[in-house]
Chain A
Amino acid sequence: DQQVKQNSPSLSVQEGRISILNCDYTNSMFDYFLWYKKYPAEGPTFLISISSIKDKNEDGRFTVFLNKSAKHLSLHIVPSQPGDSAVYFCAASGRGGADGLTFGKGTHLIIQP
């Protein structure tokens, strides 16, 4: 049973426009949510996180929104750039972190010139 779901395997966006990646979760005990980006032949790299007590966190071109009642979060990238083309993973963590991160299957974002 998947506790973190990314229902879009891929997403194509024009350069300069907004990219919106979505993620749903089922476990209400998750304390932190994180987004990771992965290029081929590299490990995932941390992008941005949000605590369960907040509903928005912004870092430059990246903003994460959390809707706890809907158990939904989204990552907005504005404006999208060619270097943003990668696989994006949504992940969730319980309090303390000893249970590791629970990842979704990822969304492959393709930025079209």
Chain B
Amino acid sequence: ETGVTQSPTHLIKTRGQQVTLRCSSQSGHNTVSWYQQALGQGPQFIFQYYREEENGRGNFPPRFSGLQFPNYSSELNVNALELDDSALYLCASSLVGSGANVLTFGAGSRLTVL
């Protein structure tokens, strides 16, 4: 059973650029969600995808967008990068109907915006 894998592990961008982060869900999971973890903070919910549609969103602006593909892999896109977007971005997958909303996380993509 493969877990959640994310790429790239680290990247550096400059303010105003755009970035795409990728995620492969755990086998058998049908829901993917993305979280932003700033230094010294807990992960913050960005959005969730189920059946290739966004079905939940946290308090993040529209320049944060995503996609879920038929094979349940996912992308997170961030446009017009700001310095405060520097963080660890975590992808998580889960199975709808599993009760406690237990998420399986990847190791994350660390984004630095200069």
Contact = CB atoms under 8 A, between A and B. Distances in A.
B107 to A, nearest CB: 5
Contacts of A98: 48, 50, 55-56
Interface string B22-55: 0000000000010100001111110110100001
Interface string B82-110: 00000000101010100111111111100
Contacts of B108: 43
A101 B47 CA distance: 10
B105 A43 contact: yes
Contacts of B45: 99-102
Interface string A72-113: 000000000000000001010100011111111110000000
A22 interface: no
A53 to B, nearest CB: 12
Contact-residue size bin, chain A (C-beta under 8 Å from the other chain): 20 to 34
B4 interface: yes
Interface residues of B, number: 29
Contacts of A99: 45, 56, 58
B90 A43 contact: yes
19 contacts: A32-B100, A43-B105, A44-B43, A44-B90, A46-B102, A49-B100, A51-B99, A97-B101, A98-B50, A99-B45, A99-B56, A99-B58, A100-B47, A100-B56, A100-B58, A101-B35, A101-B45, A101-B101, A103-B42
Interface of A: 4, 6, 32, 34, 36, 41-46, 49, 51, 89, 91, 93, 97-106
